[in-house]
Structure 1
Amino acid sequence: MMTTRSITRYARVLVLGLGSCLFLFNSPVLAQSGWTKEKGEGFYQLSFQSFQSSDYYTLGGELLNTNKFSQQSLVFYGEYGLTDRFTIIANLPLQTWNGFETTETVSGLGDLRLEFKHSLLKKYLPLSISVAPEIPIGRANNFAQSTVNDFEEINLPSGDGEFNVWTTLASSFALPNAPFYGSIFAAYNFRTEYEEVSFSDQIAIGAEVGYKVANLVWVNARLNGLNSVDDVLVATDFVRGDGTEYTSYSFGASFPAYKDFHLNLNYRNFADFIYSRRNLYSAGTWSIGILYQRKPNEK
C-alpha cells in the first residue's frame, strides 16, 4: 500500500526564450500534489539538468531556427514538514550556465523560490493550498561576450530580477491496494516588474500519475500547461518570459540507491496539446538527481 512518504517529487529548471532579445523564466510547474509532509519528515534533492536548442517559437507562435542556445543547471530542492499539515519547500538553482554557440558561457546563482504549503483536506481526498514567492537573488544582468565580434555581447541572466508569487491549489489520490497515485493542480502567478517594465500574470495547470514497478522503481508521467493572462504583443528588451506559453510533458523514474537515498532520472519536452508554444526555445531537457528522504522518527 502506498503512503504519502513513498511518493517522490522532483524539481526542474526551464529554458530561456528569445524574441528580438532573450528572456529568462523560472519553472512555474514544479511537482505539485495535495499531500503535505508529516511533522519532521524531509525530502531533499540535488539535481543536474541539461538543455540545448536552436528551435525558437516567437510571441506569435512562429518557429525560427537560431544560433544554438544551451543551459545547464545544478539545483537544490527540499521539503520539510513543520507540522502534519504545514510544509515548507525551497527550490534554488545553485548555479546556472548559459551560452550560445557564438558566445562565451556565463554562470550565476538563480532565484530562490520558497513555498509555504497547507493541507486543507488530508485523509480521504488530500487537498492543499500553497503560496510561493520567488525572490530575485540571481543575476538579472549577466552579459556574455561574443566569440565572433569582440564588441558584441548579450545578456544571459541566471535570475529574472522580478519578485513574483505563485498560489497553487492541488489535489491527489492514492489507491488503497495498489502502488498507484494521481495529482492535479492549478496555479496563478502574480507578476510585478523589472526595471519599470510590467509583466503579464500567468496561469499554470498540470496533472501527474505514478506507479511503483515490481515494488522497487517509481515511474511517473506529467502533463503541464502555462498560459499568459494578458495578450503580450510586443517583446520588450531583456526581460523575462513575458508572453511565454506552452504545453509540456515529462517522464521520470526513481531508483533505490543506498538506504534512504534514491537516484532520479527525468526527461521533459514541449508540445502544443493545450497551449501552443510561444516565446521559448523548445527541445528536450534531461535531468539526473540524488534524493534523500528523512522519516519523522529519525534522529
Structure 2
Amino acid sequence: MKNLKFLQIAALFFVVQEVDGQSGWTKSKGEGFFQTSFSTFNSKDYFTLEGEKLLTNRFHQQSIVFYGEYGVTDKFTVIANLPLQNFNGFETTETVSGLGDLRLEFKHSLLKKFLPLAISVAPEIPTGRANNFANSIVNDFERINLPSGDGEFNVWTTLATSFALGDFPFYGSLFGSYNYRTQYDGISFSDQMAVGVEFGYKFFDKVWVNARLNGLTSVDEITEVTDFVRGDGTEYTSYSIGASVPVYKEFHLNLNYRNFNDLLFQRKNIYSGGVFTLGIYYNLKPTAE
C-alpha cells in the first residue's frame, strides 16, 4: 500500500483531541452549554518528525462530537467532550469507525470579577478503539491501524484568563496547558504543552464571530519513530475562524474553519489541511431560586 508505512496515523489527534478554546469564565450555578457537531477533514500533506512535507494517499476523517458544560456552583464547572463516532480512512483503504476518547474537565474559578482566571484539570479516558484496522482496497493482504482513540490515559491541566469590555460586545481569552501523557502497550509518550489566544465580537447584536490561534509542542524532542498512531512528537500551529447564529430560542448554529501553519511551532507528525465543523448548541439558563 503505497506510502502507508509512513502513516501510523497522527491525524486523528488534531481533529478531535485538540485543546478547545479555553476561557477564564466558569458557568453560573445551573447554567449549561451543550453542543453536537460534525467535523470533516481530508489531506494528502503529511509532515514528518523532521518537519518534512510528504505527499501521500489522501487521508480523510469525519467526527461526530458531543461537548457539554454545566455549572455545579458559580465557581465550579464540569465539562465533557466525547467523540461519539470517528470515521477514518485513506483513499486506498476502507473506512473504519469507533467511539473516541472521553475527556472530562473540572474547572474552578480563581478570580471572577475584574480579570476572570480559572484552572482546570481534564483527564482523558481511553474509551476509544486503540486498534482499529482498515483493510486495503488495492491489496487484500495489507491493512493499517486507524484507531478512534489513542489508547493511553493522559491529563490536561489548563490555566486561562479572559476579559470583556463592559457593554461593548468584544472579548478575549488567553490560555496555557500542560498534557501529562503516560503509555500504551509498553510505549511511553512525551508530555505536551499548548498555548492559545481567542478574540470574539458580536455583530448586529446577534452573530458572534471569533478567531483563534493555538499551538502545540512536545516537551521532549522526538527524533525516532515510536508509534505514530498515538501522536507522539506531534507539533503544530493552528488558526481558525468561527461564527454562531441563533436559530430558535436558546438553540444556535455554529460554523468553524480551521487550518495549520508553522507560525508558533513547526508542523511535525501531522496531516495538515482544512477542518470544517458544523454544530448546533443549546444554552441552558439557570432557574430562579
The answer for the alignment partner of 1:157 in structure 2 is: 147
What is the Cα deviation at residue 65 of structure 1?
0.2
Give the whole-Å Cα distance in 2 for the aligned partners of 1:261 and 1:132.
27
The answer for the alignment partner of 2:55 in structure 1 is: 65
Structure 1, unpaired ranges of 5+? 1-16
Give the whole-Å Cα distance in 2 for the aligned partners of 1:67 and 1:156.
14
The answer for the alignment partner of 1:98 in structure 2 is: 88
Q: Does 1:256 align with 2:246?
A: yes
Aligned partners of 1:200 and 1:228 also within 8 Å: yes
Give the whole-Å Cα distance in 2 for the aligned partners of 1:73 and 1:157.
13
Q: Does 1:202 align with 2:189?
A: no
Aligned partners of 1:98 and 1:156 also within 8 Å: yes
Give the whole-Å Cα distance in 2 for the aligned partners of 1:135 and 1:298.
35
Alignment TM-score, normalising by the size of structure 1: 0.92
Give the whole-Å Cα distance in 1 for the aligned partners of 2:272 and 2:190.
21
Q: Map of 1:230-269 to 2, 5 A cutoff?
A: 230-237=220-227, 239-269=229-259
Q: Does 1:22 align with 2:14?
A: no
Q: Secondary structure at the match of 1:239?
A: helix
Give the whole-Å Cα distance in 2 for the aligned partners of 1:255 and 1:208.
18
Q: Secondary structure at the match of 2:34?
A: strand
Give the whole-Å Cα distance in 2 for the aligned partners of 1:59 and 1:159.
21
Q: Does 1:39 align with 2:26?
A: no
The answer for the alignment partner of 2:212 in structure 1 is: 222
Q: Structure 2 vs 1, CA of residues 20 and 78 (structure 1 numbering), >3 Å: closer, same or farther? A: closer
Q: Secondary structure at the match of 2:92?
A: coil
Q: How far does the alpha carbon of each residue in 1:155-198 deviate from its partner, in whole angstroms, 9 at most, with x for none?
A: 00000000000000000000013000000000000000000000
Q: Secondary structure at the match of 2:229?
A: coil
Give the whole-Å Cα distance in 1 for the aligned partners of 2:148 and 2:225.
19
Alignment-mate amino acid for residue 250 of structure 1 = S
Q: Secondary structure at the match of 1:161?
A: coil
Across the two proteins, how many residue pairs are aligned to each other?
283
Alignment-mate amino acid for residue 22 of structure 1 = I
Q: Secondary structure at the match of 2:119?
A: strand
Q: How far does the alpha carbon of each residue in 1:26-61 deviate from its partner, in whole angstroms, 9 at most, with x for none?
A: 523211000000000000000000000000000000
Give the whole-Å Cα distance in 2 for the aligned partners of 1:168 and 1:22.
26
Aligned partners of 2:8 and 2:146 also within 8 Å: no
The answer for the alignment partner of 1:119 in structure 2 is: 109
Alignment-mate amino acid for residue 54 of structure 1 = K
Q: CA RMSD in A?
A: 1.4
Alignment-mate amino acid for residue 217 of structure 2 = N
Q: Structure 2 vs 1, CA of residues 20 and 40 (structure 1 numbering), >3 Å: closer, same or farther? A: closer
Alignment-mate amino acid for residue 57 of structure 2 = N
Structure 2, unpaired ranges of 5+? none
Higher mean C-alpha displacement, 112-121 vs 235-244: 235-244
The answer for the alignment partner of 2:286 in structure 1 is: 296
Alignment-mate amino acid for residue 183 of structure 2 = E
Alignment TM-score, normalising by the size of structure 2: 0.96
The answer for the alignment partner of 2:45 in structure 1 is: 55
Aligned partners of 1:18 and 1:58 also within 8 Å: no
